[in-house]
Amino acid sequence: MAQAALRPPVRGPTFIRLLARLAETDLAPARPSLPDRLGQWLDWKHALALAAALDARPAEPAIAAVAPDDLHAECARAREVLTAAVEDAPLLAPAAPAEADYAAFRQLCLSRQRATQAAVGRLRGKLRDALAASPGMGQLAEVDAAMEVAITPREHTLLAKVPELLGQRFERLRTAADTSTTWLDSFRRDMRSVLLAELDLRFQPVDALLAALRTS
């Protein structure tokens, strides 16, 4: 009997690898370079705003509203709360597999995404204010603000597909399970891994701004 061909391992960020595995698909081997990809995502208004931020003269430092140490602690607390929300009882609580309905999981996924999006936006704003109060860091704050306006709509569009992919995974596992009752636990683990990886992805701008604040 011929052995089935094994799918080559998907390379890339954890979040992308998880989605590719759940969707049972492979990533395209050739991907556009970062400048080419940004060129597809930015319209002329966003490109002009970003260019203006890059070319702007450093502004005089403002008065810091929040101490850097307090910001580090606030970001850490926010991340801990969001992580705990993904790992909490509603996601992991036992349920009868035969009665499982993806609608409840979809609502849970959407609520976690909205909470993370709101927290990240709030933290980025506070970190930009802190950078604007640090000598030589005002321009970085302006660039991040321009990038957030330009990239966030595209990010939201792409991440909005996560609940759909998880729904497809849910149905595949349920169909393949036959009489097995362990498929729902497998799905819960998959969903938790994806949401935690998305949380890490969304926090990358926050982590970058925190790193810049540490060097200021």
What does the pLDDT look like over 179-215, one tens digit per residue?
A: 677 888 889 999 999 999 999 999 999 999 999 988 8
pLDDT in tens, 46-78: 666 666 766 666 656 555 556 777 899 999 999
CB neighbourhood size of 171 (10 A): 12
pLDDT in tens, 19-34: 888 877 765 555 665 5
Average pLDDT across the chain, whole number: 80
| Residue ranges covered by each domain of the chain | 40-215
Among 76-90, 92-106, 160-174, the range scoring the smallest mean pLDDT is 92-106
